[in-house]
Amino acid sequence: MTLWTYQEVGHNQDAKKEAKAFNSENVFATPKPERLIERIITLATNPGDLVLDSFLGSGTTATVAHKMGRRWIGIELGEHAKTHCYPRLKQVVDGEQGGISKAVNWQGGGGFKFYTLAPSLLKEDKFGNLVISKEYSPDMLAAAMAKHEGFRYQPHETVFWKQGQSSEMDFIFTTTQFITRHFLDAIAEELKGDESLLVCCLQFEAGLEEAYPNINLRKIPQMLLNRCEFGKDDYSFNIIPSPLDELRPPQDERITPVPEKPAPDHTTPIHDLFNQPEG
């Protein structure tokens, strides 16, 4: 057993002081001292390794990883991602001198990207039908569909239906308009012979599915229903009993050990040259 004393890795009071430095009005309830995280990262990683904290809290793990020359990913569902983690990590990049900064000679530098999870693309209407969320603008919808279908969202400067592409000749177009034959014919005239197009729309005129061999029409949301879970905001873990629990004896019941069987001897004795059996 290894025991780490508070003189070595800090204690809660140290953590509170470190947390107050970047948010004195709303101090995070359960911060960890930077020295403790430094010890763990030192033992578990090397410089340049990737550190993941899927419950970022006040940002201590990302802070220490950044100061120690590790790459990092932090995930946080609560609002303190904006009120605590972001301002803290911004100060780290700027060279703040709290926590382990002096011990590791931290002078600032580097950077990070802050991403916000998009709202659910599909939501239920009052009749229980899945429809496109009103929170999505046309550009957000086009970008989301390109991502879902494996395209790079990159709208063309002049051709409106070239919103993204997966290869030099393969494009995607997303719209909420009703696709008519006349509309599709106009796009087909602009398509070059070696180009192909995926059209994602709410509805289209009957019979257009096979109108052009290089144009594929799909309906939203049907094309997405089997890929993702929509209309759900709570992703808490559902803890269920393990099937092995039924096989375990009650807590006060003693387990009778099974006597071990002697291992079979599969070897054949080999006599040396100077100890041959008689006969």
Domain ranges across the chain: 6-94, 122-224
State the Cα–Cα distance between residues 31 and 13, nearest whole angstrom: 9
Q: Which CATH class is domain 122-224?
A: alpha beta
The 10s digit of each residue's pLDDT in 203-235 is 999 999 999 999 999 998 888 877 666 666 665
Superfamily designation of domain 6-94: Vaccinia Virus protein VP39 (3.40.50.150)
Those residues whose C-beta lies under 8 Å from the C-beta of residue 134, and which sit 6 or more positions away, are none
The 10s digit of each residue's pLDDT in 18-62 is 877 777 777 777 788 999 999 999 999 999 999 999 999 899 999
Cα-based distances in Å from 270 to 263, 274, 275, 276: 20, 12, 10, 9
Q: What pLDDT was estimated at residue 6?
A: 82
State the Cα–Cα distance between residues 91 and 88, nearest whole angstrom: 5
User: pTM for this structure?
Assistant: 0.63
The answer to whether residue 123 scores a pLDDT higher than 70 is yes
Q: What pLDDT was estimated at residue 94?
A: 96
pLDDT higher at 98 or 272: 98
Fold match, 6-94 / 122-224: no
Query: Average pLDDT of 149-164?
Result: 94
